[in-house]
Structure formats: C-alpha cells, structure tokens
A and B are shown apart, each in its own frame.
Chain A
Amino acid sequence: MADRPLIDTNVYLFRWPFRRVTVDEPAALVRLLEEQGVVQAWAGSLEGVFDRDVSGVNQRLAAVCAAYPHLLAPMGSLNLALPDWQDDLRRCHELYGMRGVRLHPNYHGYTLDAPAVRALWEAAAQLSLVVQVVALLEDERTQAPACAVPHVALAPLLDHMRAVPQARVQVLNAQRALRPGEAEELAAAGVAFDLATVEGAGGVGSLVERIGPQRLLFGSFQPLFYFESARLKLRESSLGAWAEEQICVENARRLLAAA
C-alpha cells in the first residue's frame, strides 16, 4: 500500500518473451503503480530489447504513454549497434518529447567502450536527455539458454562521464555488474543508480553509506519483479525521512529537471 509518493525510474511496458506476468498489460501495470503511490514512472519498452525496428518500438511506447500522461514518462529505446541510431534519438526528442533514452548494450551486442557510446553521451547532453544504461535484465544463472547474455561491464562509463560531465546518467539493475568499489567511483563521477537489484540485509543502507543518498533513485523493475520487494528495502534500511525523500522523489526530479 502507498505510504509515500514515489517516482519509479525502472519500469517497462509490454511483454518479456520468457515469462508471462499478470501486470504486463499497460492498464494493469498503471493500476498497480497508482495503488503503490507511484506519481511518475519512467517507462521503457521490453520490445526495444529484441526488436530491431526501434522506430516502431518507440512509436508504440509513446502512444501508450500518451494514454497515461499523468503517470508514464517514456524512455525511448536506442540500439547503438544499428545504423542511423542518431535519428531514433532525434525522434525520441523532437517527435515524442521524451526526456530520456534506455540502453541494453548486452542484448544489442556492443560494450560501453564503443565509439557510439561517447557520441550518444555528447548528443544526449546537448539535447538534455537522461541516459539509462541497463546492466542486466536477468540473473545470468537463470537466463534462457537461447538468449544468454553477460552483464554490462560498467568501467568505461568513468571516461565518458569525465569527458561529458554534464551528462545525466543512471544505471539500472546494477548490483551484479558492479566490481568492488565501482559504485563509489561511478557515483563520484555523477552516475546514479536504482535500487531494484540492490541486495543484502540492510543493503540499501550500506549502499547509501558508500555513495550518498543523492545518487540512488527508487526503481522497482516492473513488471518483472514484485513491487513490494523494492518498497520494503526502504523500511529495512531505516534511512531517515530526508534520505528517503531524496531516493523516492527528489533525486529523480533533479535528474529530469537538469535534463
């Protein structure tokens, strides 16, 4: 049940091909998010993970989000391995008024040291767009054999952030992809994270101790994870009202406002 407003920065629309879940229809998902007190959901497209017709993917994402403008903020899909991804970026910005884009480098077959990534950093900064990098969609140990991908190596982000310090970047589902000490380095360089895959007893609290409360944003990884798993982490870590407010709302507002 809702006990505070939330901006959920890690939401997807449409279906995951390997598992059918009850809230993967937009209306059901919107109902769930509203019941949980989510006031804004940054929504990417699961179609964008697999479908190479990215312009079609973004068209459908924009259309659904337009039906729920009070709640859904679309985060366009980009596949930097495709020719002319720059035009997809342009359409996200100009045609659909999107405030950010979401990347799935491991599913699209490139790494973060690819030249296109730096080019995106520069272009997105110029257009004031948030870039969300998804480190992992499923634990490597449980992936379908026909579609096994490693997590995204995040180390190249440091150079990109140093080169384009005005970039607004969030890594989603980062936990299993982070080397020891890497969260601290990336946070110091300006990268934000979400809490959907943060684990360990009191794990959110210990992450906040390491990176500070202003680099962590609420994210529930809907519809693939149970929503309460994210919400309850705040209670488990007992962060105090100010830090919770930053994580639940203010950090996301700041990231978008800056964008």
Chain B
Amino acid sequence: MIWDLHCHLAGLPGRTPEERMARLMELADRMGIERLCLYMGLEFVVRPTPEQLRRQNDEVLQALAHWHDRAYGFCYVSGEHVDASLEEIERCVAEGPMVGIKLWVARRCSDAALDSIVARATELGAVVFQHTWFKQDGTQLAGESTPLDLATLAVRHPQAILVCGHTGGLWELGIRAVRAHPNIYVDLAGSDPTRGMVEMAVRELGAQRVLYGSDAPGRSFASQLGKVLAAEITAQQRQLILGANLRRLLGPILRAKGREA
C-alpha cells in the first residue's frame, strides 16, 4: 500500500485540472501508488491573494472530481489572509471533501497570526502541512518556515497534526528541530534521494512519524519512492512510511466525512 502525501498540479502538461490529474494518476499507477494528496492549483502562487486562494482550491476540487476514491485534497491557506483562509477551510474542509490544509511560504508558521487557522484545522481533524526548508545558500524567502518555526507552532498547538514538509530539506537539521515534538510528522518529499535520510528519521523519530511523499511533478515519484524502498529499515517500518501512517492520520477526518480510509 503506497499513499503519497505530497503532489501538485503545477508543472504537469494539460490545460485543465482534469487533464493534469489524469497524467498525474497515469504516472502514479506506473509506480504502484494507490492514493495521493493534492494541493495548490495550476500555477504556483507564492503569496496568494484571497481570490487566488479560492481559485487554487477550486482547481484542486475540480481535479479531484473524478478521483475521490484515490485522491485527497488539502486546502491552500495563507497566514497573510487569515479571515479568507478560515473561509476557505469552512468551504473546502468543513463543508467540502478536503482533509487537510497546506501552508506554503507567505508567512512563517511561528507567527501567532496563524493560530486561528491551525486551531480550526485541528478542530476538524485536518492534517496541517507546512512547507519547511533550511536553506544554506541564501535563498530562504522571508515568509519561508524552517522546522524550528514548526516546532514553535507545535508548542502552541499540541493537539494539531503537523507535517514538516520536505523534512526541512536539510534533513539532518530538520529531524533534530522537530524531534522533541511528537505531534510533528516528517514528509520525505522534495529533496535529493540522499542515502541515510530515511534511516536517520526512523532512528530519531520512530517510523510512526515518517511519511512518504514525492512532491511530484516537480520531483520524480521514482526518486522519492526509492528513498523508502532502499532504506535499511524493517519491512514493518517501510509499510508504515509508505502508507499506513498517512492512512492512520487521515482516518478520523475521512470517517467523519463518511468515507472509507
């Protein structure tokens, strides 16, 4: 069972969300990926306006329309537009089919302005996915969170299900930064398939806190899946990372929506 935590529409060929989703699923099928999570629309928008947030989420909803049995949407929200984000959470998660929220690079997640967004997502049982990177080359964006920002957020929201996107990119630091916070899970997606990443995550966090994701189509499903398939871990740990953990995390919200996990 392989569930991919981290996929996008931007960067795929196709004019419409439906066309792009069909291509994404074709590639996922080749790799044996049964289910995947999808966030953000046809183009990447770094600092979306409220209108852009709505449009981006509409595009994901459109892409999901024929794939509800295999794909789950995360609602794109922004710490720069808290009220609009709360409205989107009501529309897409509380009243819609989405099961998580996605925070990208508009505002660092340690900022208290995000508290109401994370609190509402937590009430709904939605997974909170936060992009994180520790960039060493001077390209860190002003609003780009590091795993340390997420650790700060975790202290304020101990009941939230928080995902550390990309394990912070520089995973040796990212794993350490979130290690003490049991409600933070790490996403393996979107970095080079550097040997040792998965082993360190399992050793330091436990396999229950490690989630397979690809960041396709920016990344190859193959290169990211290879991290888990080749890691020197037990078969049981591999199963947890490839899908059982994500299934467990999404189970309550899916069941609340009357859907099978």
Within 8 A of A (CB), among B183-219: 191-196, 214, 216-219
A226 to B229, CA, bound (A): 9
Check B231–A199 contact: CB distance below 8 A.
no
Whether A45 sits at the interface, judged by CB under 8 Å, is: no
Using A198-B220, A200-B217 as known contacts, say yes or no to A145 and B27 having CB atoms under 8 A apart.
Answer: no
Whether B135 sits at the interface, judged by CB under 8 Å, is: yes
Closest CB of chain B to A20's CB: distance in Å?
8
Closest CB of chain B to A14's CB: distance in Å?
15
Using A142-B136, A226-B230, A228-B230 as known contacts, say yes or no to A200 and B220 having CB atoms under 8 A apart.
Answer: yes
Whether B226 sits at the interface, judged by CB under 8 Å, is: yes
Q: Collect the chain A residues with CB atoms within 8 Å of residue B227's CB.
A: 226, 229
Q: Collect the chain A residues with CB atoms within 8 Å of residue B12's CB.
A: 201
- With CB as the reference atom, state the residue of chain B lying closest to A229: B226
Whether B3 sits at the interface, judged by CB under 8 Å, is: no
Q: Collect the chain A residues with CB atoms within 8 Å of residue B24's CB.
A: 201
Whether B261 sits at the interface, judged by CB under 8 Å, is: no
Using A141-B137, A142-B136, A201-B12 as known contacts, say yes or no to A236 and B194 having CB atoms under 8 A apart.
Answer: no
Check B222–A235 contact: CB distance below 8 A.
yes
Whether A190 sits at the interface, judged by CB under 8 Å, is: no
Whether A238 sits at the interface, judged by CB under 8 Å, is: yes
Check B223–A148 contact: CB distance below 8 A.
no
Check B221–A141 contact: CB distance below 8 A.
no
Q: Collect the chain A residues with CB atoms within 8 Å of residue B31's CB.
A: 232, 235-236
Q: Collect the chain A residues with CB atoms within 8 Å of residue B218's CB.
A: 199-200
Using A141-B135, A143-B136, A199-B223 as known contacts, say yes or no to A238 and B195 having CB atoms under 8 A apart.
Answer: no
Q: Collect the chain B residues with CB atoms within 8 Å of residue A200's CB.
A: 11, 216-220
A141 to B31, CA, bound (A): 28
The interface size of chain A toward B, counting residues with CB under 8 Å, comes to 36
Check B196–A21 contact: CB distance below 8 A.
yes
Using A197-B192, A225-B192, A226-B230 as known contacts, say yes or no to A148 and B217 having CB atoms under 8 A apart.
Answer: no
A90 to B34, CA, bound (A): 54
Whether A41 sits at the interface, judged by CB under 8 Å, is: no
Check A141–B133 contact: CB distance below 8 A.
yes
Interface residues of B: mostly helix, strand, loop or mixed?
A: loop
A223 to B193, CA, bound (A): 11
Whether B19 sits at the interface, judged by CB under 8 Å, is: no
Closest CB of chain B to A251's CB: distance in Å?
20
Whether B236 sits at the interface, judged by CB under 8 Å, is: no
Within 8 A of B (CB), among A195-241: 197-204, 223-233, 235-236, 238
- With CB as the reference atom, state the residue of chain A lying closest to B7: A201
A228 to B220, CA, bound (A): 12
A45 to B75, CA, bound (A): 47
Whether B111 sits at the interface, judged by CB under 8 Å, is: no
Check B219–A226 contact: CB distance below 8 A.
no
Q: Collect the chain A residues with CB atoms within 8 Å of residue B230's CB.
A: 226-229
Q: Collect the chain A residues with CB atoms within 8 Å of residue B221's CB.
A: 201, 232, 236
Check A19–B194 contact: CB distance below 8 A.
yes
Closest CB of chain A to B168's CB: distance in Å?
10
Check A230–B226 contact: CB distance below 8 A.
yes
Whether A140 sits at the interface, judged by CB under 8 Å, is: yes
Check B195–A21 contact: CB distance below 8 A.
yes
Taking a contact as CB atoms closer than 8 A, the residue among A19, A143, A233 that contacts B196 in the complex is A19
Known: A22-B195, A200-B216, A204-B220. 14 other contacts (CB 8 A): A19-B196, A141-B135, A141-B169, A143-B137, A199-B220, A199-B223, A200-B219, A201-B219, A225-B194, A226-B229, A226-B230, A229-B224, A229-B230, A236-B30
User: Can you list 14 A-B pairs with a CB-CB distance of less than 8 A?
Assistant: A20-B196, A142-B169, A200-B11, A200-B218, A201-B24, A201-B217, A201-B221, A203-B220, A225-B195, A226-B227, A227-B230, A228-B226, A229-B193, A238-B30
10 tightest Cβ-Cβ pairs between the two chains A and B = A229-B226, A232-B222, A229-B193, A228-B226, A201-B217, A226-B230, A201-B216, A228-B230, A236-B222, A229-B223
